[in-house]
Amino acid sequence: MTRYVMTIDLRRCVGCQTCTAACKGANATPPGIQWRRVLDIESGEFPDVKRSFLPVACMHCANPPCEEVCPTQATTRRADGLVAIDYDLCIGCANCVMACPYDARSIVHEPRYAYNDTAMASEAKRFDPDRIGVSMKCTFCKDRIDHAAVSGQIPGVDHEVTPACVNSCISGAMGFGDIEDPESGVSRLLAETQHFRMHEELGTEPGVYYIWDKS
Amino acid sequence: MKISALRAAELAAPKQQRNWDWRAAANFICGGAGGGLLFWAAFAGLDPVALRVAVLLGLALIAGGLTCVWFEIGRPWRALNVYRHIATSWMTREAVVALLVFAAGGLALLTANALPALFAGVLGLGFLYSQARILAANKGIPAWRNRRSIPLMVATGLAEGAGFLACVLSLTSAGAGLPMLVGLIVLIGARALFWHRYLGALVADGAPDATLKVLGGIAARLAVFGHILPALFVMAAVAGMPGRGGLVFVAGIMAVAGGWFLKFTLVRRAAYTQGLALQHMPMRGQGAAGAAAKPGWKAMPGAKAG
Amino acid sequence: MEAQAKSVKRVPTYCYNCVSGPDLMNIKVVDGIATEVEPNFAAADVHPAKGRVCVKAYGLVQKTYNPNRIQTPMKRTNPKKGRNEDPGFVPISWDEALDIVAGKLKAVRAKGLLDEAGLPRVAVSLGHGGTPSNYMGTFPAFLAAWGEVDFSFGSGQGVKCVHSEHLYGEFWHRGFTVAADTPNCRYNIAVGANVDVTGGPCAVIRHADARVRGYKRVQVEPHLTATGACSAEWVPIRPKTDPAFLFALIHVLVRENGLEKLDIPFLRDRTASPYLVAPDGLYLRDPQNGKPLVWDETTASAVPHDTPGARPAVAGAYRVAHAVVVDADKERREYADVEGKTAYEMLARHIDKYTPEWAESICDVKAETIRRIANEYLAAAGIGETIEIDGKTLPLRPVAVTLGKSVNNGWGAYECCWARTVLAALVGALENPGGLVGTTVRLNKSRDNRHLSVKPGDDGFMVQYFNPTTKEEWQAAPSTRNLHQTLVPIVGHNGAWSQALGPTQLAWMFQGERPDDWTMPMPTLPEVWLVYRSNPSISFWDTRHLAEIAAKFPFMACVAYTVDETNYMADVLLPEATDLESTQMIRMGGTKYMEQFWDHRGVVLRQKAVEPQGEARDFTWITTELAKRTGLLEPYVNAINKGVSGVSPLKGEGYDFSLDTAVEPAPEKIWDAVCRAATVTLSEGREEHDLEWFREHGFYTVPMSRLDWYLTPTMEKHGLRYELPYQERLLLAGRELGRRLHESKMNWWDEQLSEYTALPEWHDVPGRWIRNLEKSGARAEDFPFWLLTTKSMQYHAGGNAAIEVMHEVAQNLRGHAGVIINAKTAASLGIAEGDRVEVRSHIGATYGKAALAQGVRPDTLVIIGQFDHWATPFAKTMEAPSLNSIAPMSLDLTDATGSGADIVRVSVRRMEASA
Ligand SMILES: Nc1nc2c(c(=O)[nH]1)N[C@H]1C(S)=C(S)[C@@H](COP(=O)(O)OP(=O)(O)OC[C@H]3O[C@@H](n4cnc5c(=O)[nH]c(N)nc54)[C@H](O)[C@@H]3O)O[C@H]1N2
Ligand SMILES: Nc1nc2c(c(=O)[nH]1)N[C@H]1C(S)=C(S)[C@@H](COP(=O)(O)OP(=O)(O)OC[C@H]3O[C@@H](n4cnc5c(=O)[nH]c(N)nc54)[C@H](O)[C@@H]3O)O[C@H]1N2
Ligand code: SF4
Ligand code: SF4
Ligand code: SF4
Ligand code: SF4
Ligand code: SF4
Ligand SMILES: [Mo]
């Protein structure tokens, strides 16, 4: 069995949003839509203040409430752990948007462009009408993962089949790989660190692990 | 062109959901009432005219709600895909039940026969229940996912249905009988009870501050106009106050309006998302890791609301 | 979609949009259209950031296709210039545009390069910390062919940049920019150094590695930046009091721990600590050879500092039988039986009064905190430890104090630079593994190799090329409008870099008013002003006023991307092929800014990944056309042959790729020759690669020893000492400069002369800003807050403010396009999150939305970056506030190096109608 997961080392992240922008580029998301973004969180009171950066996206839950509620089976959990959306099935009912406890999904009803109403060449080239009016979210860069099956490369090791955000991260905060494989990079990293998954109490079994200290 | 500036400080905090607007809310508002109405219509032993009116109104309410939703979804021409996930999706189930409701309801309309009306009534309840489960399945909205939202939604749907029925009866025939009126009082009382328990559970289980604020903010109005006044009016009618038909009608309207107000609030205004949280501030080389942060929530132990 | 794409290719290239580059990337091109920016993992083994670029580079696709670009040459039709005058730009042909510019230039040549005031008639402004040179192709060769040019009109770069570090850093240890040796560092006191935001991917990953490894960074800064957030400790110091904090650290080391705990061999052998100082504050020198004396402990006598076998005493006071001192203007005085204190002893006595308790009241930082930090620093220095690098054993001193730009310019910056360099020297961490390293040189040659710039000079120190202050040689009539040779000895005269690092605000200020006792020729307007990739009307101080001055310039041509606040006053706009559309080869690795010290050095090609939009042309093409049309083709090609624009001369030992000076060279031809020359020289003749090869491979490197990161071994090799801790040469330069100015009956620079001290004293640095506003008639109590600025990871200055996606992603972080304010302070003023607020100084107001935070001092407001655009498309719709609109440009706030700081006293209030 394979379950692809992501590790995010909060000790490393500087909140630069390189991953945010890389995901936008790799997936041609319209202005205002960020499948991934990095939050800026503060706690405490002056002068005892802590500030941290929290990258968030779809958690590719093992028990995804978005899938459960989806009336069309457009949202499915794949055998390798990816939670995917079939744009051809989705009716854009937004039930999954409400079901997701991680603000991971969005629906865009009209084409949107960076500068007013006309698409730049780069936007026109990549505009996908199938994504209008349907639910969208981080795919774990599904096409790359699928390519791995064809090319024999290993996601998280070979860059060509690793998510764009992971590749882009300038602090090396992000890892990707198969958590079922004890030898994978993510498994080894998780073994030697303390980490948590967000909102685990909701029973979603998210596939993103946040590292916060050595063990 | 003016470009927007977000407030970064609020990005992690629960946000009011924006995907289900008044159209989706209308489905819960009308559809729930319609389901409740069908249910009571089936059991109230109505005369054919009243039955037809009640069933027609019930179906219209459900159809109206569904039409609103149809206008809301992103890909309306693919709406039939909604039937693809009966295994777990309450939205699929709602859609299936809706079909059956219309079949049974349509038959009841044609025949004014008690049996199809009974089917329509049971299915109406099923529709109402499905809607309650749709909301509750949405883990992303703490106000909905609380298990106590299910009895609340069912109770208000039934109260609204009874309210509608009371109105229909006060207009169409000899008026509502005593059992009907007592039933209405009981339903209003039940809704008040479930509302109270729901709020209590939300506070106990934790919910976004904004959700609690919105819900807390309607409690008094809901109690007065949705529960106390209609109950008093019905009691007055029972006690034989003059203008009984009017009293019952107004009480029925209030019972409906109170429920709709409650549901609109729940589906739109109080529907804040879970938001995002940091269980541990990370270590930065040396020093202390720092407390957790769950912006927009008070409940998390050790956390400071951001 | 992509599946149906006819062609998909990945084009290797570089990003050098901010000074923290170059960083390597690929551009994904689908059917001839650039669609994505990706890391270039082929460079993962040579590039410290593993072939990754930062967020800013991900805006380059939008930058290319931005519909607001200038896509044809334009000329102005409205002869009136000003912020309220629509320039009426109309499209013209390249021929017409080039002829207009060349015509103006030829007219200048006909009259002479210098005008009646002796100032160059042509002025050029290049912005953002010198990064334009990585995009302007062969333009430097054109400038070289041209002759005298005035680089006086500063943008924010230079005097608002890490200015004092540029000057003093390079003076002390060839550190034009200075960084911690992060890969080896254990303890970093970062005083306003916002490195996780500004250091680029190389710094970010190094510091992330260090954090995971368990190093400690203490961020000393008035507000909690992303860098502060990622630090182990945040010390919210009161603005502009950093010298006091740093002095107190020295106090703890020197007075509370004492010499025995410091790095005695380093102080003795590599610094001037043992030099004996006379009671008059000058070095005691050998009467015969003039060399500074030290006290030799083995013979118990004063001997010249370089006496073989001597063991100089680091501390103490000693009686010297006979010695001389050499004062300003070579005035010699003889001493007999005089007491000489070692320079270290002078420091120890000087620093005695600067206790942590003293600093506490100034800095608002607890004495115990200061003391603890100093002691942690000392402990972490691990004096005595060694490390082996490439077979050589070196000291390991893994501690560094780093300074950010806002403590590195203006008053107090000299003190900060001095203190942090002394802190490094005291523990032997200066230019040693783990410690404080310079990462590039600009004011000294060779520009690509710090080590080659280390040559023996006077008194056992490295050679320095000061602007002369002697009676004979002092430049009494300035040769540039910013008076850099006249006023700033330490900035030198080494070409454009020295010029551009002069007091560039004086060039702007003196176009308007001059001091009453000004006795030099009146500064003139430049007849032709060329501007490239710089926006002083946004990035400088008092920007509204600055734009008015620029509007008076008679002729201005800009190589432009969009209309912006500076080129709004231009007569001609020349559209340039931008980052993804043009070709150039630059150096990488080796010595570069910030934390770009690599294990490799080499070259990287920026190449045309896609065809230029509209009529935009490669800068090299534009330059060649200008050279041709001004009759400068031959000297221009000669300059290219000499390597002025490329990375190395086109002709050298065993190779000759030089271009025919009689023929107009096509850009491809130039870069092909540069590619070949670069690879031949880098590989020492083993390999030669042409442009085609680079188009495919992108870059070429050869390994570089880490030993090259550290200057100390080279100093040791030459037997040289760092000129620390005592600053006799600066003292003398100041004295001489003072005499010259006073001889010319000018006293307006007197305040600045006070900075020339041998051992800096604390003075009321913050008070200068308060006095400045009071002088202009305002009341101090009306402006109770400090307003600061801080950089944004998503923006390179204002350079990419026109890019939509940068705005979008930047909004995820607090404070962008807003005013960061302490939450409690805000509450007391009735200001809520998102309220529109007015921030007012004594010269004006700026407006933005309040962003409430706990991580900022209650007495401090912060505005990110430099915005407040009013002409740049898209950016002007951001409605972002800017410090620069309301911070004055003032002689009072200019320090002796000629720089000023980005800080101003302000009030804040909620606007009535909140948006
Ligand atoms: N408030 C505040 N002010 C500051 C600073 C701060 O932190 N805060 N920092 C200061 C520092 S350290 C510096 S170095 C300076 C930098 O300030 P400047 O040297 O003035 O540089 P930028 O603001 O980056 O200006 C870049 C200009 O180049 C244009 N441009 C961008 N890309 C291209 C291109 O491809 N081709 C052409 N032809 N033009 C292009 C942009 O439109 C923009 O107008 O600012 C200083 N000013
Ligand atoms: N992303 C990005 N990176 C860049 C640039 C860019 O524009 N964008 N520009 C490049 C350039 S040209 C430069 S010069 C460098 C500059 O790099 P840095 O010096 O690291 O840049 P700043 O963010 O301006 O950092 C200055 C910090 O000083 C703090 N500060 C202000 N006043 C005081 C004070 O009185 N005391 C103390 N202790 N701190 C104070 C401010 O809070 C601010 O965070 O960055 C380079 N890198
Ligand atoms: S994060 Fe949200 S969208 Fe993603 S799998 Fe989990 S529930 Fe579904
Ligand atoms: S929006 Fe699409 S994916 Fe989401 S629940 Fe509805 S049909 Fe499923
Ligand atoms: S995995 Fe791919 S889709 Fe998901 S956030 Fe990263 S880049 Fe975006
Ligand atoms: S790219 Fe890496 S360091 Fe930057 S915000 Fe994303 S996760 Fe954090
Ligand atoms: S740090 Fe500067 S040079 Fe490097 S990728 Fe970012 S913008 Fe480009
Ligand atoms: Mo700078």
The structural domains of chain C, with segments of one domain joined by +, span 178-438, 765-910
Question: Which runs of consecutive H residues, i.e. helices, occur in C585-632?
Answer: 619-629
Query: Are C73 and C572 contacting, i.e. CB atoms less than 8 angstroms apart?
Result: yes
Under an 8 A CB cutoff, do A93 and B304 touch? no
CATH of domain C765-910: 2.40.40.20
pLDDT of amino acid C65: 98
Neighbours of ion ligand 8 (CB under 5 A): C 129, 161
pLDDT of amino acid C897: 96
Tell how strand C399-403 and strand C187-191 pair up: parallel
Q: How many domains, chain A?
A: 1
Query: How far, in Å, is the centroid of ligand 2 from the Cα of C161?
Result: 8
Residues in chain A with pLDDT < 70? none
Distances (CA, A) of C94 to B178, C75, C614: 94, 11, 12
pLDDT of amino acid B304: 33
Question: How far apart, in whole angstroms, are the C-alpha atoms of residue C444 and residue C452?
Answer: 9
Reported CATH class of domain C178-438: alpha beta
**Residue C429 half-sphere exposure toward CB, CA atoms < 13 A:** 34
Q: Where is C97: in which H helix or E strand? A: helix C94-111
Query: How far, in Å, is the centroid of ligand 3 from the Cα of A64?
Result: 5
- Mean pLDDT of all residues in chain B? 92
The set of residues, in sequence order, having a beta carbon less than 8 Å from that of C372 and lying 6+ positions away, is none
Most ligand 2 atoms within 8 A of CB, residue of C227, C405, C796, C893 to mutate: C405
Most ligand 5 atoms within 8 A of CB, residue of A5, A6, A7, A36 to mutate: A36
One DSSP character per residue, B35-82 reads HHHHHHHHHTT--HHHHHHHHHHHHHHHHHHHHHHHHHSS-GGGGGGG
Under an 8 A CB cutoff, do C212 and A11 touch? yes
Query: Are C314 and C365 contacting, i.e. CB atoms less than 8 angstroms apart?
Result: no
CB-CB neighbours of C155 under 10 Å? 29
- State the Rg of chain B over Cα: 22
Q: Which two tokens stand for residue C108?
A: 């200048």
Cis peptide before B142 (omega within 30 of 0): no
Nearest-CA residue for atom 3 of ligand 5: A138
Nearest-CA residue for atom 6 of ligand 4: A93
Ligand that lies nearest to the alpha carbon of residue A140, given by its number in the listed order: 5
Nearest-CA residue for atom 1 of ligand 5: A140
CB-CB neighbours of C557 under 10 Å? 25
Coil, strand or helix: which one is C671? helix
Question: Which runs of consecutive H residues, i.e. helices, occur in chain B?
Answer: 22-26, 32-43, 48-72, 90-111, 114-137, 142-145, 149-172, 178-205, 209-221, 229-238, 244-264
Query: Are C758 and C777 contacting, i.e. CB atoms less than 8 angstroms apart?
Result: no
Question: How far apart, in whole angstroms, are the C-alpha atoms of residue C486 and residue C507?
Answer: 13
Q: Which two tokens stand for residue C428?
A: 């032997």
Question: How far apart, in whole angstroms, are the C-alpha atoms of residue C753 and residue C751?
Answer: 5
Q: Could you tell me the pLDDT band of residue B174, with boundaries at 50, 70 and 90?
A: low
Q: Where is C804: in which H helix or E strand? A: helix C804-810
* Contacts with A, C 98-157, CB within 8 Å: none
Q: Which two tokens stand for residue A177?
A: 């790989």
The set of residues, in sequence order, having a beta carbon less than 8 Å from that of C848 and lying 6+ positions away, is C817, C818, C819, C836, C837, C839, C863, C879, C880, C881
Q: Scanning every residue of chain A, which has its alpha carbon at the shortest distance from the alpha carbon of C808?
A: A32
Domain, as residue range, for A141: 4-214
Of B83, B95, B140, the CB nearest to A99: B140
Query: How far, in Å, is the centroid of ligand 5 from the Cα of C203?
Result: 24
pLDDT of amino acid B4: 57
Coil, strand or helix: which one is C794? coil
The set of residues, in sequence order, having a beta carbon less than 8 Å from that of C666 and lying 6+ positions away, is none
Three-state SS letters, C358-420: HHHHHHCCCHHHHHHHHHHHHHHHCCCCEEEECCEEEECCCEEEEECHHHCCCCCHHHHHHHH
Ligand that lies nearest to the alpha carbon of residue C154, given by its number in the listed order: 1
- Hey, what domains does chain B have and what are their CATH numbers? 20-269 (1.20.1630.10)
Cis peptide before C705 (omega within 30 of 0): no
pLDDT of amino acid C445: 87
Nearest-CA residue for atom 1 of ligand 4: A92
Q: Would you give the distance in Å from CA C299 to the centre of its chain? A: 46
Predicted confidence (pLDDT) at residue B1 exceeds the cutoff of 60: no
Question: How far apart, in whole angstroms, are the C-alpha atoms of residue C412 and residue C785?
Answer: 19
| Greatest alpha-carbon span in chain A | 54
Helices and strands, counts by H and E, chain C: 29, 33
Question: How far apart, in whole angstroms, are the C-alpha atoms of residue C374 and residue B125?
Answer: 74
Query: Are C814 and C851 contacting, i.e. CB atoms less than 8 angstroms apart?
Result: yes
Three-state SS letters, A148-214: HHHHCCCCCCCHHHCCHHHHHCCCCCEEEEECCCCCCHHHHHHHCEEEECCCHHHCCCCCEEEEEEE
Specify the CATH number for the domain of residue A84: 3.30.70.20
Beta strand extents in C717-843 (DSSP E only): 785-790, 818-822, 836-841
Q: Scanning every residue of chain B, which has its alpha carbon at the shortest distance from the alpha carbon of A86?
A: B81
Predicted confidence (pLDDT) at residue B138 exceeds the cutoff of 90: yes
Nearest-CA residue for atom 3 of ligand 6: A13
Q: Could you tell me the pLDDT band of residue B306, with boundaries at 50, 70 and 90?
A: very low
Q: How many CB pairs under 8 A join B and C?
A: 59
Distances (CA, A) of B262 to B17, B152, B195, B219, B228: 17, 10, 9, 9, 15
> Which residues are C403's β-sheet partners?
C191
Beta strand extents in C226-267 (DSSP E only): 233-235
Query: Are C618 and C645 contacting, i.e. CB atoms less than 8 angstroms apart?
Result: no
| CB-based contacts of C77-86 (< 8 A; 24+ apart in sequence) | C81/C551, C81/C552, C81/C569, C82/C547, C82/C548, C82/C551, C82/C569, C83/C544, C83/C547, C83/C548, C83/C551, C83/C568, C83/C870, C85/C551
Query: Are B285 and C216 contacting, i.e. CB atoms less than 8 angstroms apart?
Result: yes
Q: How many CB pairs under 8 A join A and B?
A: 189
Q: What one-letter code names the amino acid at C442?
A: R
Burial class (CB in 10 A: 0-12, 13-18, 19+), C307: middle
Question: How far apart, in whole angstroms, are the C-alpha atoms of residue C820 and residue C814?
Answer: 8
Under an 8 A CB cutoff, do B11 and C214 touch? no
Question: How far apart, in whole angstroms, are the C-alpha atoms of residue C175 and residue C299?
Answer: 37
Rounded to two decimals, the pTM is 0.96
> Which residues are C557's β-sheet partners?
C530, C572
Burial class (CB in 10 A: 0-12, 13-18, 19+), C110: exposed
Q: What one-letter code names the amino acid at B213?
A: K
Coil, strand or helix: which one is A9? strand
Cis peptide before C120 (omega within 30 of 0): no
Predicted confidence (pLDDT) at residue B6 exceeds the cutoff of 70: no
- Residue list, ligand 4 pocket, CB within 6 Å: A 69-72, 74-75, 85, 90-96, 134-135
For chain C, the straight-line distance linking the first and the last C-alpha, in angstroms and rounded, comes to 41
- Residue list, ligand 1 pocket, CB within 6 Å: C 127-129, 155-157, 160-161, 405, 532-536, 538-539, 559-562, 564, 576, 578-579, 789, 791, 796-799, 865-866, 882-884, 902
Residues in chain C with pLDDT < 50? 1, 914-915
Distances (CA, A) of A80 to A101, A145, A147, A184, B88: 21, 9, 13, 15, 21
